[in-house]
Structure 1
Amino acid sequence: MATQKRFIAGAICPRCAEMDRIRSWEQNGMRYRECVSCDFFEQLPIEEETPPELETRISRPHEDQASQPDDLQTVRILDPGQQH
């Protein structure tokens, strides 16, 4: 039976920076990842803890997030029919 290779949605290749080009599969106790756009190839033993996470559009830090304050403010929704 052939091993099925699956694309990792949103993954960015660490070599060519193309998005949605990384595919992954497991075979003989190893986990493999490769880019279909360049020569990036990585193999990791499955026994290893979690493999390093590939950067995705979700995990990539935004410049906006760094400038946002850590304190949160409550938003109060007012009922226009209710008089105070």
Structure 2
Amino acid sequence: MKYSTDEPELSNLSVKAKNSRLSTFLTRIALLVGAVPLGGYLLGQLVEQRWPGEISWSLTLLLLGLITGVISLGLWMKRDPGG
């Protein structure tokens, strides 16, 4: 009995998963809405340690990072997929 070769190999599936639009979209969301605000928060912590004051730099840079990430994600979603 011969096996059907219609099913893709496991290595081909992993390559397709890496190149799929959904994984690209989810990665982009994770980076822009998760990592950028986290980086802003950590930078704010550093600024607050070096130059303490009345302004909460952690919160300010966290919100700035979140706004920047959401705007960047929106622009990326509106772009032309062909170019």
TM-score by length of 2: 0.22
TM-score by length of 1: 0.22
Bigger helix share:
2
Say which structure, 1 or 2, has more relative contact order (CA 8 Å, 6+ apart). Answer: 2
Bigger strand share:
1
